[in-house]
């Protein structure tokens, strides 16, 4: 029979081999091998409720529930998800890929089970900085108040999220490991067990059996090392190889150097701005290096604030800094900004504060799937009164728009860009309003409003349309909210207007243009045909960014085909000549 130590070693070897080949969350899963083994030895994943927070720590759980064969397709189209997935297994009860949610789920399960007389056990493995999030403490406040509803909290204390965990909680956990008097969890009314060596399966299993027997809310404090058993990760002080692309398993280095990314361009420019302006500060929610702030932090350590996985606090803290005379730049993944929308609306915009939001991973992100696609910011943020939203088409425009944004003093601004290489610069023919005309064919009947990085696809589509005798204008609005009157005027002199963007169609730029033109249309001057050509209003699965965009027609061929279809009426006849 294989011993737990041997089993753990085999799982680690498997993870290193597979994840280095496909990409994924490597460091977190190497750190929870023994924790997950012990959890599965004590509890039944087919019966009990096993929760992982954040969900990227669930790879070992997937292996132990029969999904090891799927790791060759991890985060590939049609393959295994990088997070818990109810479609994959009944052992995945929730799909929590955003942090700090598991304890609230656990509290809800406990309340439901108490009312229904259900005897299933509830276990939440919480780590990788998830306990720095406000929701975790809202949940703890409720869990601790109900000793009759047992919940077992496995606290995976690895001292990190991406980088070392920040704040008073991290300091308190360190004191608990040193056996210092005083225990926050016990003071809240929770039973505390630990600290336990989280890489000793027997010790963790013993603690879990004790916790189960207590039949009340319990915290089992397990001390682990992120990246355990993989020297490149253990020696990586930056993020312990938290998430990797395709890398050499021997060195953990990419097989080929990558091109400059949107994130790296932002990092360079914000550092240059920081050198020129001492009022510019940066705020991040546990994503300092992933959001490109490494260079800024090295140059100006006193002017970068990592607040932990606490997006709501990040935004309102930035509002306070703006009140205090600073210009905060809040760097955040697009998908995570949705957690702080109320703070953007009521704490920043209501006061017309000069806070700049830099939204990394906007639009289709790729392998992280439905929860991480930044599909909603460009549809939701335009409803915020006064907020200005930009979408750069290339690296030069990102630098320009970032400088324009931090120069704004009377309202919030936001800049969105994807997770990808920035690509070559695209020159402008001329400036119209706040935007740039990128192409203007004589006698143009079609206006392509190219939002951000989709400008290249729009220009290629215009080349294809020219081969079909369809002259086209391609326009980059640069600032996509609020609506620029110059863009509306340009739209009025075209027969067909198509706004091409990687956001959800609901509330997209094309929808807003159509609404504005319809409102001002007259019988003598009917509005042009305007459409939002964007992503469907649903949750899209994981896969390469270019592949997902192509699947939804957001490539040159798809854009051209859509225009040609719109230029033909129901009888197959061409539309009449332009109205101009």
pLDDT of residue 166: 67
- Same structural domain for residues 296 and 351? yes
Residue 130 annotated in ligand binding: yes
- Same structural domain for residues 395 and 503? no
67, 149, 339, 419: the catalytic one is 339
Rama region for 49: left / alpha / beta (φ>0; ψ in -120 to 50; rest): beta
> Could you give the CA distance from residue 124 to residue 102 in angstroms, rounded to a whole number?
6
Q: For residue 13, tell me if it sits in a domain.
A: no
Kindly list the distances between the CA atom of residue 268 and the CA atoms of 200, 288, 396, 401, 402, in Å, as whole numbers in the listed order: 43, 14, 12, 14, 11
pLDDT of residue 356: 98
Residue 313 annotated in ligand binding: no
Q: Name the domain count of the chain.
A: 3
pLDDT of residue 494: 94
Catalytic annotation present for 226: yes
- Same structural domain for residues 436 and 403? no
- Same structural domain for residues 394 and 274? yes
pLDDT of residue 578: 34
Residue 347 annotated in ligand binding: no
Q: What is the DSSP letter of 132?
A: G
62, 160, 226, 399: the catalytic one is 226
Q: How many residues does the chain have?
A: 580
pLDDT of residue 570: 30
Catalytic annotation present for 311: yes
> Could you give the CA distance from residue 299 to residue 292 in angstroms, rounded to a whole number?
13
pLDDT of residue 254: 80
Low-confidence ranges of the chain (pLDDT < 50): 569-580
pLDDT of residue 162: 56
Residue 99 annotated in ligand binding: yes
Instruction: Judge if pTM exceeds 0.95.
Output: no
- Same structural domain for residues 136 and 211? yes
Q: For residue 23, tell me if it sits in a domain.
A: no
> Could you give the CA distance from residue 281 to residue 270 in angstroms, rounded to a whole number?
9
Q: For residue 479, tell me if it sits in a domain.
A: yes
HSE-CB at 41 with a 13 A cutoff on CA atoms is 19
The domain that holds 150 is classified in CATH as 3.40.50.970
Q: For residue 202, tell me if it sits in a domain.
A: yes
pLDDT of residue 521: 76
pLDDT of residue 1: 76
Residue 56 annotated in ligand binding: yes
Residue 436 annotated in ligand binding: no
95, 205, 269, 311: the catalytic one is 311
- Same structural domain for residues 189 and 267? no
Q: Which domain holds residue 474?
A: 430-566
- Same structural domain for residues 483 and 515? yes
* 392, 378 Cβ separation under 8 angstroms: no
pLDDT of residue 567: 87
Residue 311 annotated in ligand binding: yes
- Same structural domain for residues 379 and 446? no
pLDDT of residue 574: 45
Kindly list the distances between the CA atom of residue 419 and the CA atoms of 158, 190, 271, 373, 511, in Å, as whole numbers in the listed order: 27, 41, 20, 10, 25
The domain that holds 490 is classified in CATH as 3.40.50.920
pLDDT of residue 357: 98
- Same structural domain for residues 502 and 358? no
């Amino acid at each position: 029979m294989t011993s737990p130590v041997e089993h753990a070693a085999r799982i680690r070897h498997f993870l290193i081999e597979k994840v280095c080949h496909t990409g994924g969350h490597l460091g977190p899963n190497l750190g929870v091998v023994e924790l997950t083994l012990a959890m599965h030895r004590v509890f039944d994943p087919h019966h009990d409720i096993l929760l992982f927070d954040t969900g990227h720590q669930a790879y070992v759980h997937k292996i132990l529930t029969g999904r090891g064969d799927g790791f060759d397709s991890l985060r590939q189209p049609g393959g295994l998800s990088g997070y818990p997935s109810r479609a994959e297994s009944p052992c995945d009860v929730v799909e929590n890929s955003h942090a700090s949610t598991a304890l609230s789920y656990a509290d809800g399960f406990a309340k439901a089970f108490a009312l229904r007389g259900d005897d299933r056990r509830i276990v939440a493995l919480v780590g990788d900085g998830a306990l720095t999030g406000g929701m975790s403490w809202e949940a703890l406040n409720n869990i601790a108040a109900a000793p009759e509803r047992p919940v077992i909290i496995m606290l995976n204390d690895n001292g990190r999220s991406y980088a070392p965990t920040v704040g008073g909680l991290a300091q308190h956990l360190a004191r608990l490991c040193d056996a210092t008097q005083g225990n926050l969890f016990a003071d809240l009314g929770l039973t505390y067990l630990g600290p336990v060596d989280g890489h000793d399966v027997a010790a963790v299993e013993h603690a879990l059996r004790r916790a189960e027997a207590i039949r009340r809310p319990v915290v089992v404090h397990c001390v682990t090392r992120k990246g355990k058993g993989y020297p490149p990760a253990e020696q990586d002080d930056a993020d312990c190889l938290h998430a990797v692309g395709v890398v050499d398993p021997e060195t953990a280095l990419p097989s080929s150097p990558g091109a400059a990314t949107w994130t790296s361009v932002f990092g360079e420019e914000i550092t240059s701005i920081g050198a020129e302006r001492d009022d510019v500060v940066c705020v991040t929610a546990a994503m300092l290096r992933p959001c490109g702030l490494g260079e800024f932090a090295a140059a100006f350590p006193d002017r970068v604030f990592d607040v932990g996985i606490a997006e709501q606090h990040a935004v309102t803290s930035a509002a306070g800094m703006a009140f205090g005379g600073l210009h905060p730049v809040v760097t955040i993944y697009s998908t995570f900004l949705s957690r702080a929308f109320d703070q953007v609306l009521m704490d920043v915009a209501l006061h017309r504060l000069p806070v700049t939001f830099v939204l990394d991973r906007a639009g289709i992100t790729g392998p992280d799937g439905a929860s991480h696609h930044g599909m909603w910011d460009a549809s939701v943020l335009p409803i915020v009164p006064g907020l200005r939203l930009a979408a750069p088409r290339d690296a030069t425009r990102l630098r320009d728009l970032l400088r324009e944004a931090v120069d704004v003093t009377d309202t919030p601004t936001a800049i969105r860009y994807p997770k990808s290489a920035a690509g070559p610069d695209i020159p402008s023919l001329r400036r119209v309003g706040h935007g740039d005309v990128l192409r203007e064919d004589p006698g143009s009947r079609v206006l392509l409003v190219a939002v951000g990085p989709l400008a290249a696809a729009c220009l290629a589509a215009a080349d294809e349309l020219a081969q079909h005798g369809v002259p086209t204008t391609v326009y980059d609005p640069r600032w996509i909210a609020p609506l620029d009157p110059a863009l509306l005027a340009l739209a009025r002199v075209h027969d067909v207007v198509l706004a091409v963007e990687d956001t959800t169609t609901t509330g997209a730029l094309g929808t807003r243009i159509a609404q504005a033109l319809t409102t001002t249309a007259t019988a003598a001057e009917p509005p042009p045909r305007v459409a939002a050509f964007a992503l469907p209003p649903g949750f899209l699965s994981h896969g390469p960014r270019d592949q997902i965009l192509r699947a939804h027609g957001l490539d040159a061929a798809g854009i051209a085909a859509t225009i040609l279809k719109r230029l033909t009426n129901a009888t197959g006849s061409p539309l009449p000549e332009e109205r101009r």
